[in-house]
Amino acid sequence: IDFAGRTAFVTGGANGVGLGIVRNLLEAGAKVAIADIRAESIDKALERLDNREVMGVQLDVTSRDGFKAAADRVEAEFGPVSLLFNNAGINLFQTIEDSSYDDWDWVLGVNLFGVINGVQTFAPRLKARALSGEVQGGRICNTASMASFIAGGAPGIYNTAKFAVRGLSYSLRHSMYQYGVGVSVVHPGLVKSHIYASDEVRPDALKGAMKPVDPAAVERLSGIHEFGMEPDVIGARILEGVRENRANIFTHPDHEDELRELFDETLADYRDYPQDPGYEQRIAFEKMR
Ligand code: NAI
């Protein structure tokens, strides 16, 4: 797929991974909309990019109406979107037993429903345009995480959301194939980003039953993220994967062994049970149909 001349919509595009994707898309000749909840970050990004092919739109990805309005505005200005990057995300390190419903609503709201809202807004448009011949093909790329495979105790809700984003992406890849729309899911490792400051964008309405933020933990995380991959580097790898229409885009080499171990452990859970009596009949039944 050639990105030149296409319109892209990047959620969480004002910082971190999203901004890396934006820069690379602009270099490849696409028109790009940065959709982000932080208005100041959008302004800063637009100023730095200084490019007529990029526009900003303030959007909270948890708002379904807001998503539709943002999509309409971008398409009125830049034409039909055929490259969608559902990338906005936040993190919260907290075990499930210590989490409140507000925590679930916030993390699933942004990290899972943000992606769902993007897909609900754009997938029917991409399908309709493919059927009418108005736009040939396109791509949807969702940012998950290595945490979509590897679970730990602390990121309980984050793991839940990211595993779901992976499942959604694989399913959508099957159904959108016939319309020439490729779907990929990205699994980054550590990135030099501001995700440790996620609490800044937590809505007041979901702060009710929240554990107080530990400034020392935030500082430690910000230190760790300084060692993360540069956004422009990960942006380039993501676009390479999207161009090649890879199902999974692994941007960091550091987790391959861990993943292999995980698959081995998973398969080791199989037991040598005898085949169920209905099995042969089911295979024969399916063959007849
Ligand atoms: P970041 O915090 O630097 O950038 C995320 C952007 O999303 C910010 O500009 C923020 O304002 C925006 N955002 C947050 N909530 C939003 C909402 N409700 N609506 C619209 N925009 C919203 O973080 P980063 O690291 O660039 O995160 C991007 C994606 O990468 C996320 O999905 C994250 O889970 C994923 N990721 C990040 C890793 C890392 O090490 N930083 C590792 C693995 C995955």
- In angstroms, the Cα distances linking 92 to 118, 132, 136 are 22, 43, 39
To 5 degrees, how large is the angle CA 67–CA 69–CA 72? 110
Kindly give the number of the ligand 1 atom that is closest to the alpha carbon of 91: 34
User: Which residue, by CA, sits nearest to atom 5 of ligand 1?
Assistant: 12
Give the distance (Å) from ligand 1 centre to CA of residue 259.
23
Q: Is the pLDDT of residue 243 over 80?
A: yes
pLDDT at 222: 84
Which of the residue ranges 41-45, 58-62, 107-111, 278-282 would you say has the lowest mean pLDDT? 278-282
Reply yes or no on whether the pLDDT at 212 is more than 80. Answer: no
| For residue 41, pLDDT beyond 80 | yes
Categorize the per-residue pLDDT at 219 as very low, low, confident or very high, splitting at 50, 70 and 90.
confident
Positions annotated as catalytic residues are: 158
Which residue puts its alpha carbon closest to atom 18 of ligand 1?
Answer: 60
16 close to ligand 1 (CB < 6 Angstrom): yes
Cβ(130) – ligand 1 distance below 6 Å? no
pLDDT computed for residue 217 by the predictor = 80
Which positions ≥6 away from 134 have C-beta within 8 Å?
Answer: 80
CB of residue 36 inside a 6 A radius of ligand 1: yes
- Packing angle of the helix pair 16-27, 231-243 (nearest 10 deg): 60
Q: Tokens representing 289?
A: 């149909």
What's the 139 CA to ligand 1 centre distance in angstroms? Answer: 20
What is the 165 CA–ligand 1 centroid distance (Å)? Answer: 14
Q: Which residue type sits at 12?
A: G
Among 22, 58, 191, 248, residue to substitute to test ligand 1 (most atoms within 8 Å of Cβ): 191
CATH topology of domain 7-254: Rossmann fold (3.40.50)
CB 126 within 8 A of CB 169: no
Q: How far is the CA of 18 from the centre of ligand 1 (A)?
A: 7
Reported as a pLDDT band with limits 50, 70 and 90, residue 213 is confident
Question: Dihedrals φ, ψ of 243, to 5°?
Answer: -60, -40
Interval 159-206: pLDDT, tens: 999 999 999 999 999 999 999 999 999 999 999 999 989 999 999 999
- Banded pLDDT at 8 (limits 50, 70, 90): very high
Q: What residue ranges do the domains of the chain occupy? A: 7-254
Q: What percent of the chain has pLDDT over 90?
A: 90
* Ligand 1 touching residue 38 (CB < 6 A): yes
Dump pLDDT digits (tens) for 53-70: 999 999 999 999 999 999
Q: Are 142 and 188 in contact (CB under 8 A)?
A: no
The CA 177 to ligand 1 mean position distance, Å, reads 27
Looking at residue 82, what is its pLDDT?
A: 98
Contact between 142 and 168 (Cβ < 8 Å):
yes
- Is the distance from CB of 89 to CB of 12 less than 8 angstroms? yes
**DSSP output for 70-105:** HHHHHHHHH--EEEEEE-------B-GGG--HHHHH
| Average per-residue pLDDT for the chain | 96
